[in-house]
Amino acid sequence: MSGIHEFIGNEIKSNDVVLFMKGTPQFPQCGFSGQVVQILDYIGVDYKSVNVLADSEIRQGIKQYSNWPTIPQLYIKGEFVGGCDIVREMFQAGELQQHLQENGIAVRAAS
């Protein structure tokens, strides 16, 4: 399992924003992953997505890595932010955008 944790750690360290999700941003395979994609696209942030359905080791590994039982999982600057509910609440409160900007990640201005 350590190889998977290494892979996950590397993805998280080498990308400012990483979304571990079911499916791809173009074709999310679950509603929760789709919601997070919509939020990230709406605020216009660049992110790397990892499709956990493509590899069962990653799917299990990410849950152990974060000690969080569900997918999707969002990471910003190496830090686990949360799943769909947390991301949605942060977004609605404006905290997600603020958190990204505080970490030097450009977001689209609210219109």
The reply to whether 30 sits in an annotated binding site is yes
Helices within 45-94 (DSSP H only) = 56-66, 84-93
Burial (CB count within 10 angstroms: exposed 0-12, middle 13-18, buried 19+), residue 35? middle
Residue with tokens 């997505």: 49
Sorted by sequence, the CB contacts under 8 Å of residue 105 that are 6+ apart come out as 16, 17, 45, 46, 76, 77
Residue with tokens 């350590």: 2
Residue positions forming the annotated binding site: 30
Residue positions forming the annotated binding site for [2Fe-2S] cluster: 30
